[in-house]
């Protein structure tokens, strides 16, 4: 006589309970983020000076990661130069900006795609924090945005770029755009590569709810151009920074096309 399988109902109950817990946590994390973001927005409307507003945003970002159970570890922060620099990092999730806001000193501003400027409340908050918006698709407007970013860099502002411009659904490092590196080369400041790990799990690009976990930001050794030629210097900075990030990240190089499939015999 075949004994009935009693494992399946238990497995089904366990899976349903796990799904319910994930939904409950995701709802809690989103609610916490929205509440803290609103508090930060209100603070930035009244605080004078960009540095004070960024300090408030940093405190809010750290609070969110703590209450959401996303444990942030920042490694080698002492590698950041005391003066002006441009930080470039891989991009893995929508939460990367929040993580770098929590990780870096408030002297850093972010360079963000222009579409975010038109998002209600988020655009206002980013403007109050002194973020720079750049056009990705209109060449003329993109050139004007690049000149504005360069002027701010020339005034000694330190900036954060995600030079991939977007993030893939699967792990891997995309091709780097040159804007960040042209800015650094023309401003005569070093580029500081950085890696971010764990955010692809914390908030998946596949649209899943947020999840708790460990997030690690590591600041790598700064790189500087070895030529006075701006175009060549930017290319050198881009290649050296990307190589450093790719080596530390340990993910596939998605700028290299996959080998052609061999014909079937």
Q: Kindly report, residue by residue over 44-78, the tens digit of the pLDDT.
A: 999 999 899 999 999 999 999 999 999 999 999 99
Beta strands in the chain (DSSP E): 70-75, 86-89, 108-113, 132-134, 158-161, 191-197, 213-219
* Residues 15, 17: Cα–Cα separation, whole Å: 5
Average pLDDT value for residue range 201-205:
91
Report yes or no on whether pTM surpasses 0.95: no
- In order of their start, the domains of the chain are 11-249 (3.40.1130)
DSSP string, 182-235: HHHHHHT--EEEEEEESHHHHS-TT-PPP--EEEEEEE---B--S-S-HHHHHH
Name the residue among 81, 133, 130 with its Cα closest to residue 106: 130
Residue that wins the pLDDT comparison between 151 and 209? 209
Kindly list the distances between the CA atom of residue 128 and the CA atoms of 49, 141, 142, 155, 179, in Å, as whole numbers in the listed order.
9, 22, 21, 18, 23
Confidence of residue 165 (pLDDT cuts 50, 70, 90): confident
pLDDT for 138 beyond 60 = no
């Amino acid at each position: 006589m075949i004994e009935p399988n009693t494992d399946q109902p238990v497995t089904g109950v366990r899976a349903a309970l796990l799904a319910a817990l994930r939904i409950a946590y995701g709802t809690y994390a989103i609610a916490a983020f929205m509440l803290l973001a609103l508090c930060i927005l209100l603070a930035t409307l009244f605080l004078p000076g960009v540095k004070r507003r960024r300090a408030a945003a940093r405190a809010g970002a750290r609070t969110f990661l703590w209450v959401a159970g996303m444990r942030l570890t920042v490694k080698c922060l002492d590698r950041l130069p005391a003066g002006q620099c441009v930080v470039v990092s891989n991009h893995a999730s929508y939460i990367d900006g929040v993580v770098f806001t929590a990780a870096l000193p408030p002297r850093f501003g972010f360079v963000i795609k222009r579409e975010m400027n038109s998002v209600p409340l988020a655009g206002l908050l980013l403007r109050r924090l002194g973020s720079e918006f750049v056009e990705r698709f209109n060449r003329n407007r993109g050139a004007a945005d690049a000149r504005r970013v360069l002027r701010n860099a020339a005034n000694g502002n330190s900036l954060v770029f995600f030079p991939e411009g977007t993030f893939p659904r699967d792990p891997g490092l995309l091709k780097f755009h040159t804007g960040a590196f042209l800015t650094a080369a023309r401003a005569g400041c070093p580029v500081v590569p950085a890696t971010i790990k764990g955010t692809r799990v914390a908030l998946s690009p596949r649209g899943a709810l947020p999840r708790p976990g460990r997030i690690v930001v590591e600041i790598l050794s700064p790189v500087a151009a070895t030529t006075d030629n701006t175009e060549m210097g930017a290319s050198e900075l881009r290649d050296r920074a990307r190589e450093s990030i790719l080596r530390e990240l340990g993910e596939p190089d998605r700028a290299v096309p996959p080998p052609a499939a061999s014909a079937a015999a």
